[in-house]
Chains A and B, each alone.
Chain A
Amino acid sequence: MPSDRYAEVALEEKQRLFDEVKADPRYKTYLYGCYECGICVAACPSARFYDFSPRKIAQTLAREDVELFYEQLNDDVWNCSQCFSCNRCPRQNSPGGLITIMREVAVKNGLRTTKEALAGYTRIIYKIMTTGTQVSPDMLQEDAFPDWGPQVKAVSQNLDVWRRALPPETLHTTGLSWQVEERTMHELYAIWKMTGTLDMIGELDEGLHDIMEEIMDDALEESGLPTE
């Protein structure tokens, strides 16, 4: 039965997004059809906890069912764990790879469901795109990780001194995973600008985009690195 969950969205729009996914250069190496054997589902962690099936994703794309594709683009893809356990497919499909492309298209097109799914993510995006490392010790705060136990509190209370009690010089940091040279960060900014990655953020979170653009433009102007 065709999906009617997003009946208000025109078929042409669904087709446009499907075509965008299909046009990705990686698509042909991720989809070779589907035996419907279910091995990918058996291996999938998300299939155990959500109404989620990598087999259905592969099937939908193989059948080119754009209605169901659009539903999955909105309601399913963010449940994937991106572990690629589904790569054990005997047909050599990669449902996880297909989902990676679908997520990227969903971000580029600023889907409402994508904005909702990534609402808690702006801090991580900001961190990686501005510093070049995406996990920093000072993120370990007990209010953010109450279910990780009292050790998180011990880390946050002793953070500065425990970081200095590490032998590698590159790790004497609290705001970065390791010390990154300024020039290195600036080169990363140039990459984000030249590849259109910063523009993608504009679809997701305009405020975040503007903050990052200002930081990057100022730094790049000083560095003399190219932006296009």
Chain B
Amino acid sequence: MEPIDIPVAGTKVQTSRVFERDPETVRDEDLREAIWELGREGEWIVQPVPEPYYLAPTKFGRQKKIPLEHTWHHKSCGQCGHIPGYSTSIFWLNRLLGFDYFDPRDQTSCTAWNYYASATSNQAAQAAVAMRNFSAAYETGYYPLIHCGTSFGHYKEVRHELVHDAKLRRQVRAIIEKLGRPFVMPEEIVHYSEWMYAVRKQLSERVQFDLSKITATVHPACHYYKLQSGDAIYDPEIYGGQRTAAVTAVVQELGAQVADYSTWYDCCGFGFRHILVQRDFTRSFATLRKIEVMKQEANPDVVLTHDTGCVTSLDKSQFAAQAHGRNVGVPVMSESQFAALAVGAHPFRVCQLHWHAVDYRPLLHKMGIDVERAWAEFEADVEKIKHGEMEYLTWEHVL
């Protein structure tokens, strides 16, 4: 057969503009070797993941090192500010498992929320704040474990910029050195939900309630897997590796059901500036696109997620929607709180559920937890604090 001469010349380029793409610098690249190489060249100190660590599969197949203990807890402004049971549960689980950890005071917010909401920062400042926190962790000998999804994603953006931009790297190093601190990049940037994934089997061995009748829906946090997505956890056994396994794998391991819903990819509606100054947007998106869809398609007992902003948006947005008779009313919490409840944590002393807006009591009853007794115990604690019989609730009270 004679070849056919296809008369297609293609479209001639009508512009002189060039969009350069360097395969070596695409956003999802694996930066591990580059980080170590820069360490060998003396550009920075690389803090290795301490042993023992867990190897978790990531989006494109590489194994990510997840430290089990000796972790430096990079807390979250939102979690610690208005969902304190979130962080308390993470610490409590560490204590339950007998893991050594460090809860620092030498830590600032990542400031990414401020940046995404108001842009009142710049590239060098963002990187310097990140690296100051990393150096503070290094100086304690503990390894950073990032509680907030936004901090996690943003720090990975910063890491990408510092690896590829020598001028920025030198500028930030000079700032950190002026502060009298070492310039340190952790080998891996690790989110607390990856740690939850790593210890899920140890937790499942300690479950105290039958969770088989509990149905959860999972909202994967945007900044966990949409920013610098290459090293988010993807397990072939969870959604065939087509969605992140964070949260879902833990909940299933604990024995609860995870139900699917069609708007799983959608943002929670937090919006950074919107949650504070245009809350009608947040409220509408959180309820119409997320909670109502979950209710209609899965009717969950609880919504679980792994970021501060998501818990805030999804929990706080339901009150006004409920007042309008909308199909909402599902408690929202982190998987750390849910897992802590499952292995016997106190719902108020540890999980601090009284800071949440949606009624969580039906869920606790269904799990088999005596809510009324637990609340009475907590109120007794509060009375002791009020009357000076106890200054603070301490870990000794809750383990």
Contact = CB atoms under 8 A, between A and B. Distances in A.
B399 to A, nearest CB: 9
Given A81-B272, A167-B398, A197-B120, A181 B106 contact: yes
Interface stretch (B42-50, B81-89, B193-201, B235-243): B81-89
A144 to B, nearest CB: 9
B103 A191 contact: no
Nearest to A204: B120
A50 B29 CA distance: 33
A43 B226 CA distance: 12
Contact of A25 (B84, B129, B165, B271): B165
29 contacts: A26-B161, A29-B164, A84-B227, A85-B226, A107-B118, A125-B118, A125-B120, A128-B77, A133-B80, A134-B77, A134-B109, A135-B80, A137-B84, A147-B319, A151-B356, A152-B357, A155-B355, A162-B355, A163-B84, A164-B392, A165-B378, A165-B381, A166-B392, A167-B91, A167-B349, A171-B87, A177-B76, A180-B107, A191-B128
Interface string A17-51: 00000001110110111000000000101101110
Interface in B383-399: 385-386, 391-395, 397-398
Contacts of B191: none
Contacts of B160: 29
A73 to B, nearest CB: 12
A46 B279 CA distance: 13
Interface of A: 24-26, 28-29, 31-33, 43, 45-46, 48-50, 62, 64, 78, 81-85, 87-88, 92, 94, 100, 103-104, 106-107, 117-118, 120-121, 124-125, 128-129, 132-137, 139-140, 145, 147-149, 151-152, 154-155, 158, 161-172, 177-181, 183-185, 187-188, 190-192, 194-197, 200-201, 204, 225-226
Nearest to A147: B320
A28 B398 CA distance: 52
A166 B227 contact: no
Interface of B: 17, 19-21, 25-27, 75-82, 84, 87-88, 91-92, 103-109, 111, 113-125, 128-129, 132, 136, 153, 160-161, 164-165, 167-168, 175, 178-179, 181, 222-223, 226-227, 229, 265-267, 269-274, 276-277, 279, 281, 283-285, 289, 316, 319-320, 349-350, 352, 354-357, 378, 381-382, 385-386, 391-395, 397-398
Contacts of A85: 222, 226, 265-267
Contacts of A107: 118-120
Nearest to B392: A164
A190 B78 CA distance: 24
B289 A181 contact: no
A167 B119 contact: no
Contacts of B385: 161, 164-165
B388 to A, nearest CB: 11
Contacts of B265: 43, 85
Contact of B81 (A87, A177, A180): A177
B182 to A, nearest CB: 13
A29 B281 CA distance: 30
B392 to A, nearest CB: 5
Contacts of A152: 357
A64 B394 CA distance: 59
Contacts of A168: 84, 87-88, 91, 103
B224 to A, nearest CB: 11
Contacts of A149: 316, 319-320, 357
Contacts of B398: 167
Contact of B269 (A43, A81, A196): A81
Nearest to B355: A155
